[in-house]
Structure 1
Amino acid sequence: MKKQLIQRDISWLSFNGRVLQEANDASVPLKERIRFLGIFSNNTDEFFRVRVATLKRMVEYADKRRKLNMHMEEDPQSIIDQIQTIVLKQQNEFNRIWEGILKELKKEKIFLVTEKQLSKEQKHFVRHFFDEKVRSNIIPLMIESLPQLPYLRDKSIYLGVVMRKKNSAYDQKYALIEVPSKDLGRFVQLPAKSGESHIILLEDVIRYNLPEIFTYFDYDYFDAHVFKVTKDAEIDIDNDVSTTFVEKIEKGLKNRRKGKPVRFVYDKEMDAGLLEYLIRRLNLNRKSNIIPGGRIHNFRHFMDFPDVFNSKNTRREAFTHPAFQSSIRVTDVVLKKDVMLHFPYHSFHALIDLLREAAMDPDVQSIKITAYRLASNSKVINALINAARNGKEVIVMLELKARFDEEANLEWKKILEEEGVKVLLGVPKMKVHAKLCIIKKRKGTKTVQYGFVSTGNLNEKTANVYGDHCLLTANRMIMADINRIFHYLENWKTASTKLNQCKTLMVCPNSMRRELDLLINKEIKAAKTGKPAAITLKLNSISDARLIEKLYVAAAAGVEIQMVVRGIFCAVIDHKKFRHPIKAVSIVDEYLEHARLLIFHNGGKEKIFISSADWMVRNLDHRIEAAVPVNDPDIRNELKDIIHIQLRDNVKARVLDKELSNNYVPSAGKKKIRSQIETYHYLNRKNIVNIEASRH
């Protein structure tokens, strides 16, 4: 069968288009629609920092390769050109949606006012606010007199200022002001009539006070427009053997500041002379992503838009898992039976409690855990520090290469080590992405082990909005494999065979790809002999060409394949050689679908796994990942029920077709099923049944 794949970056832009659809959905509460615009903006920024920056480096590399007559499969410049076209269309759609939201805000008597729309009282407030809070946080730069343009921060916005005398176009100057939103926030609430909310953006506070800032020059005309620069976020880790890994990461973070600009976004009303000057000084050219936009940039701040809305918060409260409602200690339950937490429906507190109990339990000897992205005020870390203070051996595998969390994790490293926690820093050229924990305690003469395997980060903040599965277990086979993984992480130079010895967990980069091949092959063999054969997958992304080709062979053989994939989807779902089209949908809704679930029919003896790994080359070949089999019958049925609810979603599910149309799954004449709400009710019903049973 001819190889057919959708280019991964184009597929990712299609996913971001689905985020934009949520911002456009009138049934979504207004506050959430604004938040989705913020998510879309933040996603786009990171896409340019990482993917477009990589493609630009590939263009430079391709030029060198062409000189040497070396073949490249994809033309990176062609992909960049496609990206530019799509991003401009999405930006136009973004602007259209924002204009509509502004009208709806006015209906709710919420007004986003500019410096030109202030009342007398508000003008006084803005002058006072500027003097008290803003003035000391800004340093205006007269850029024409500087030999080179100053360092521009990647995540900041800048006001480009033009000033002159009204009666002379010749005597003018340019200046830059960084908007200090990191220190002061982006939104300032103004005095307003009762029942109304008036909000001004921080850059407009600065605009209003420009004559005050530049009073020295005696100009009477000021024009200021926002722009931002997105830079290459790649960290180059040098090969200097005299530096430690931590020093290399720290040096890489400093060098990231010098990253090349990969996108320049500006207010299309900006003075033409200043725009040309900035483009020239930033060494941008026609191949650079120079994107004209509206008055407002860095919309990611709008994820934190002030809560001035009349409508109540519709978000459903997380509840305690039924297994823990009548028990004093989480640990006692986990030692008796497996428990599956489904975030954000189930409360994350059970996981924190498990660690807190271990920290206080005099019989607990050690806690070993992996950490990738942590909350800013992490209760997980607090529990681990308490354990170390209570004399436990605590080992934390802290991934310093977690993109955009490098600085935070460096800080956590210092805090943990000061408290006596042993911090592991991973394996060279490999990220540790598995979500694992193992706790050891002495019970009489026996050593008991328990812990968890999760699909999501140990982050109590994101656990409120990320859909994930977490298996709490004392299964001996699972614990033995987690021990092997930690043995490898602690001694990777000498214990390279430990990952190969895992018997229950599928582990990357050693066994998972091979095991997945075998599982798919078994379904293909069954289908070819006329027996039932099925594969059901839930992933964040699927772009690995080898596994996609394997799925194509399975579909051609007659294996029924169903997939829920949130983000990148490089497979083509329909081909004339497929006996059944692949069913593939993406669900974008209130919660971020982050869980990974794999179900193989396996001749009627289904094999079910939850996993930290997506089906991407980076996960399968360049990360430490773990997939754990689910053996408890009730949990297996629960996982199947949840995935079947998602496969029936006809409100927030989009069909993943090769046209990247993002068409919603048809719902005409059918009962409306919005899977995240249905899943909440499904799990809550089980919760209520358990409460009633405990009363009797």
Structure 2
Amino acid sequence: MELTKEYLSQYFNPKNFFNRETSWLEFNRRVLQEATNTNLPLLDRIKFISIFFSNLDEFYMIRVSGLKEQVRANIFELTIDGLTPIEQLKIIEKTVQPMLNEIYEYWNKVILQELRENRIFICNMDELEAREKEALNQYFTKEIFPVLTPLAFDPGRPFPYISNLSLSFAILVENSKGEKHFARIKVPTILPRLLRIDHIVKLEQRNGNTNFTAKFIWLGDLIKENLPKLFPGNKILEAHRFRITRNTDLEIQEDEADDLLEVIEENIKQRKFGSVVRLEVQNTMPDFMIDTLIENLEITRNDVHIIDGNLGLSDVIQLYDLPIPSLKEKSFHPSIPYIVDREENIFSLIKKKDIMLHHPYDSFTPVIEFIKEASVDPDVLAIKQTLYRIGQDSPIVKYLIEAAERKKQVAVLVELKARFDEENNIYWAKELEKAGVHVVYGLVGLKTHAKMTLVVRKEIDGVQRYAHISTGNYNPETAKLYTDIGIFTADEKICSDVSEIFNFLTGYSELKQFNKLIVSPINTREKIIEFIENEIKYARQGKKAHIILKLNALVDPLIIAALYKASQEGVKIELIVRGICCLIPQIQGLSENIRVISIVGRLLEHNRLYYFYNNGKEILYAGSADFMQRNLDRRVEAAFPIENTEYKKIIIENVLLKALEDNQKARVLLPTGKYVFNHKVFYEQNVNYQEWLIRHWTKQTISILHNENKT
């Protein structure tokens, strides 16, 4: 039976789905587990503490703010798991508070002590020597005092504007007349949160000891110590830190926009004034000060988080930069595959055969060199590229500009709506336009999330197209941390598909069908369900049927319903889902043949892979799309087939199957929504999938490609 929407809707029962928001919170709990994992070196645990808090900030800015907007608008539409916005908010707060208590207790009782044991001191003012205090106070007077602005709050001066994620002091002062006043001081963001004392005060080497030592003090502590200088003639009665989170997911009226760039720029300005969705305060702050903030920020007590510790611990990531290799996981250096590490034109190499790269195990350098070579090659006629998250100092953009200056046709889609990268993308879009590049900002109602480059080259036998298509962004920095797969190809059908997508993005071409690519919003959901239906057909015939999906998120109810149906028909389904998973596994009569794991490790699992056994004629796609409604219906996404026999074997065996063996960083999703470690008692040896790839990836691909080259 065809898996139509109507047929699959029989599975649309709230009991068959996890809530999206609680599933995300469980993902951040896995990050918390890494932050408290004593098997990790100290600075890596601190890195995960920072990630935990950065993740939580974004969750409140986007997801929680969206729920609160629904409540304010009296929207009570149920989620697919049957919850109202109010019910979700209650569950979120009930879940988040214990996690905050746990991570702050770990920071205060374990991390700070281990830092001290390793001669890294985060000091209080009363722990410092007199000369250190004196030097810091002088530093305050020269470097910090000039940028601080005390803002009073009284009948003549309204409550001051407080920016998103900024750290502030709420201060109560008393003047010489005995009158009490409220004031606010913002902790400046242009200075590091942790000041390196031993850089300000040149410490002596004592007893010939040359061991590395680092001493820090919180910037806020130094400001608090010097508050009397900011309020001369007044007595400081109270001074307590607080931090707010605003709604940053403001709606863009694209269909009414004459100029999308102007609209996005205005949106960025307005984002600063989004409604407050969370207030974090130190647990020392008295109730009357909390009430003052609540009243003037127009929030409720339910929006307040009372914290036992320093606010905004995402900033502790600066400790990770300390030059102490022994306190970090052993570094590794991506390698350039044998096939491209030769004195041969990149285009002639691609013409011979597809080239696959798996970042960060393979270097991102060949991708940059591909754009560089296209920019200088006199035979290249045109370059077309999509840019989603570009990065701050992009060599790729510089080469595109150079190509335009050499009179090549260069067309670039810069996705201005890439959340939190808008300002950076606007800057590069303007720089590209100045150089004469044809820049497209995106399509009304759609984000362009596909990662593609097309190079058109004049050759002896006619015009030839070359494509690079990937699961990851054209960002050299994230390419060091995110796992992504990309291919260079001269395959005529793939290049034709990529060309059609660019015509759709830059002109008025209508996307309808493709030779090899799977493209959102055209046919991704339909093709995936078609592949699932195929496995069901083979299972009914008593043949082997197997699906493996590797994703960042699985939310789409139709695809989940199709997987439920496949499970009931006996298809073996293995899902590797890093983040949100709304599918409930291991339910008898529904999903007993579905196993879900999540891997959270030193690298961020970012590639999306779709594998179907297909009666032995294995189908494997890599793509940019997760299985969420936004990726399937509201974004331009592209998935490409891995057709080369050896590449397909490498990915199936060394990526998908090896990930499923992981018993160090993999957690198994239970029917309760909780995750447990994939316990090693079931395996003969320990497998840390990412560390295994670091050791084996280059070795194996070099061997395979070298043998292919010989033949």
Partner Cα separation in structure 2 for residue 618 and residue 111 of structure 1 = 46
1:172 maps to 2:180: yes
Counterpart mapping for 1:525-536 below 5 A: 525-536=537-548
Counterpart mapping for 1:338-349 below 5 A: 338-349=354-365
Partner Cα separation in structure 2 for residue 645 and residue 525 of structure 1 = 27
Which deviates more from structure 2 when the two are superposed, residues 422-431 or residues 130-139? 130-139
Q: Check conservation: 2:70, 2:76, Cα contact below 8 A.
A: no
CA distance 1:271–1:115, change in 2 (3 Å): farther
Q: Check conservation: 1:115, 1:204, Cα contact below 8 A.
A: yes
1:98 maps to 2:107: yes
1:385 to 383, 393, 401: 401
Cα deviations across residues 110-150 of structure 1 (Å, max 9, x unaligned)?
A: 11112332211211221222123212222111123554322
Counterpart mapping for 1:240-639 below 5 A: 241=256, 243-286=258-301, 288-305=302-319, 306-307=321-322, 309=324, 311=326, 313=328, 314-491=330-507, 494-496=508-510, 499-578=511-590, 580-639=592-651
Partner Cα separation in structure 2 for residue 391 and residue 242 of structure 1 = 31
SS in 2 for 1:608: strand
CA distance 1:692–1:479, change in 2 (3 Å): closer
One-letter amino acid matched to 1:120: A
Aligned residue number for residue 228 of structure 1: 243
Q: Check conservation: 2:646, 2:704, Cα contact below 8 A.
A: no
One-letter amino acid matched to 2:96: V
One-letter amino acid matched to 1:303: I
Partner Cα separation in structure 1 for residue 29 and residue 364 of structure 2 = 30
Aligned residue number for residue 124 of structure 1: 134
One-letter amino acid matched to 1:333: L
CA distance 1:214–1:389, change in 2 (3 Å): same
Aligned residue number for residue 208 of structure 2: none
Q: Check conservation: 1:557, 1:578, Cα contact below 8 A.
A: no
1:21 to 27, 33, 38: 33
CA distance 1:6–1:389, change in 2 (3 Å): same
SS in 2 for 1:45: helix
2:684 to 635, 646, 670: 670
Which deviates more from structure 2 when the two are superposed, residues 442-451 or residues 540-549? 442-451
Which deviates more from structure 2 when the two are superposed, residues 269-278 or residues 462-471? 269-278
Give the superposition deviation at 1:327: 3.7
Aligned residue number for residue 7 of structure 2: none
Cα deviations across residues 548-592 of structure 1 (Å, max 9, x unaligned)?
A: 010000001000001111000111111211585311100000000
1:75 to 84, 88, 109: 84
Partner Cα separation in structure 2 for residue 133 and residue 154 of structure 1 = 24
Aligned-pair identity (%): 32
Which deviates more from structure 2 when the two are superposed, residues 609-618 or residues 635-644? 635-644
CA distance 1:60–1:223, change in 2 (3 Å): closer
Structure 2 unaligned blocks of 5 or more: 1-9, 206-210
Aligned residue number for residue 4 of structure 2: none
CA distance 1:579–1:550, change in 2 (3 Å): closer
Partner Cα separation in structure 2 for residue 632 and residue 265 of structure 1 = 53
One-letter amino acid matched to 1:301: D
Give the superposition deviation at 1:303: 2.0
Aligned residue number for residue 148 of structure 2: 138
Q: Check conservation: 1:225, 1:295, Cα contact below 8 A.
A: no
One-letter amino acid matched to 2:562: K
One-letter amino acid matched to 1:232: N
Q: Check conservation: 2:46, 2:317, Cα contact below 8 A.
A: yes
Partner Cα separation in structure 2 for residue 604 and residue 239 of structure 1 = 46
Give the superposition deviation at 1:519: 0.6
One-letter amino acid matched to 1:190: I
SS in 2 for 1:226: strand
One-letter amino acid matched to 2:663: N
One-letter amino acid matched to 1:96: E
1:654 maps to 2:667: yes
One-letter amino acid matched to 1:13: L
Aligned residue number for residue 238 of structure 1: 253
Q: Check conservation: 1:115, 1:207, Cα contact below 8 A.
A: no
SS in 2 for 1:311: helix
Partner Cα separation in structure 2 for residue 688 and residue 450 of structure 1 = 23
Which deviates more from structure 2 when the two are superposed, residues 192-201 or residues 406-415? 192-201
1:86 maps to 2:95: yes
One-letter amino acid matched to 1:149: F
Q: Check conservation: 2:250, 2:274, Cα contact below 8 A.
A: no
SS in 2 for 1:500: coil
One-letter amino acid matched to 1:187: L
SS in 1 for 2:126: coil
1:198 to 215, 218, 221: 215
Partner Cα separation in structure 2 for residue 64 and residue 607 of structure 1 = 42
TM-score computed with the length of structure 1 as normaliser? 0.94
Q: Check conservation: 2:384, 2:412, Cα contact below 8 A.
A: yes
Q: CA RMSD in A?
A: 2.4
Which deviates more from structure 2 when the two are superposed, residues 271-280 or residues 519-528? 271-280
SS in 2 for 1:598: strand
SS in 2 for 1:12: helix
Q: Check conservation: 1:560, 1:580, Cα contact below 8 A.
A: no
Give the superposition deviation at 1:239: 6.3
One-letter amino acid matched to 1:177: I
1:60 maps to 2:72: yes
Give the superposition deviation at 1:260: 0.7
Q: Check conservation: 1:322, 1:686, Cα contact below 8 A.
A: no
Q: Check conservation: 2:18, 2:673, Cα contact below 8 A.
A: no
Give the superposition deviation at 1:162: 2.6
Partner Cα separation in structure 1 for residue 582 and residue 74 of structure 2 = 23
Partner Cα separation in structure 1 for residue 689 and residue 156 of structure 2 = 57
Partner Cα separation in structure 1 for residue 414 and residue 548 of structure 2 = 32
Partner Cα separation in structure 2 for residue 632 and residue 102 of structure 1 = 51
CA distance 1:425–1:688, change in 2 (3 Å): closer
One-letter amino acid matched to 2:386: T
Q: Check conservation: 2:76, 2:85, Cα contact below 8 A.
A: no
SS in 2 for 1:324: coil
Cα deviations across residues 51-80 of structure 1 (Å, max 9, x unaligned)?
A: 1111112223335889xxx99953110000
Cα deviations across residues 397-426 of structure 1 (Å, max 9, x unaligned)?
A: 011111111111111111111111111111
Aligned residue number for residue 195 of structure 2: 188
CA distance 1:63–1:436, change in 2 (3 Å): closer
SS in 2 for 1:367: strand
Partner Cα separation in structure 2 for residue 15 and residue 556 of structure 1 = 27
One-letter amino acid matched to 2:361: Y
Q: Check conservation: 2:576, 2:599, Cα contact below 8 A.
A: yes
One-letter amino acid matched to 1:648: E
Which deviates more from structure 2 when the two are superposed, residues 561-570 or residues 247-256? 247-256
Q: Check conservation: 1:211, 1:222, Cα contact below 8 A.
A: no
CA distance 1:162–1:536, change in 2 (3 Å): same
